[in-house]
Amino acid sequence: MDGKGPQAPGNAQKSLRPDGRRRANSQNPKIKPGEAAERVRAFVTRHGLANMVGSRAQRTLGLPPCDSSAVTMVAECAVSGDGERLRRIISDYSSAGWSNTVLLLDLLAPAVRLIGTWWEEDRCNFATTTLSTGLIERVVYEVTLANRRPVPLSAPRALIAVTPDDQHSFGAVVLSEILRAAGWFVVTRLDSNVAQLCADVASDRFSLIGLSLSRTSRIETLRDTICRLRKEDKARKARFIVGGRVFTSGEAQAVDVGADFMAVDPPEAIRLLDDILTFVAAD
Model confidence pLDDT, tens digit, residues 211-258 = 999 888 999 999 999 999 999 998 778 999 998 888 888 889 999 999
Q: In the prediction, which pLDDT does 164 show?
A: 92
Sheet holding 208-212, edge to edge: 185-189, 157-162, 208-212, 239-243, 261-263
Kindly list the structural domains of the chain, giving each domain's residue range(s) and its CATH number in brackets, ordered by start. Answer: 10-30+153-282 (3.40.50.280), 35-145 (1.10.1240.10)
> Tens of pLDDT along 19-63?
444 333 333 334 444 555 555 555 544 444 444 434 444 444 456
Q: Is residue 114 predicted with pLDDT exceeding 70?
A: yes
Q: What is the pTM of this model?
A: 0.71
Amino acid code (one letter) for 97 = G
Spatial distance between the Cα atoms of 267 and 36, rounded to a whole number of angstroms: 5
> Tens of pLDDT along 131-153?
998 898 888 877 777 667 778 88
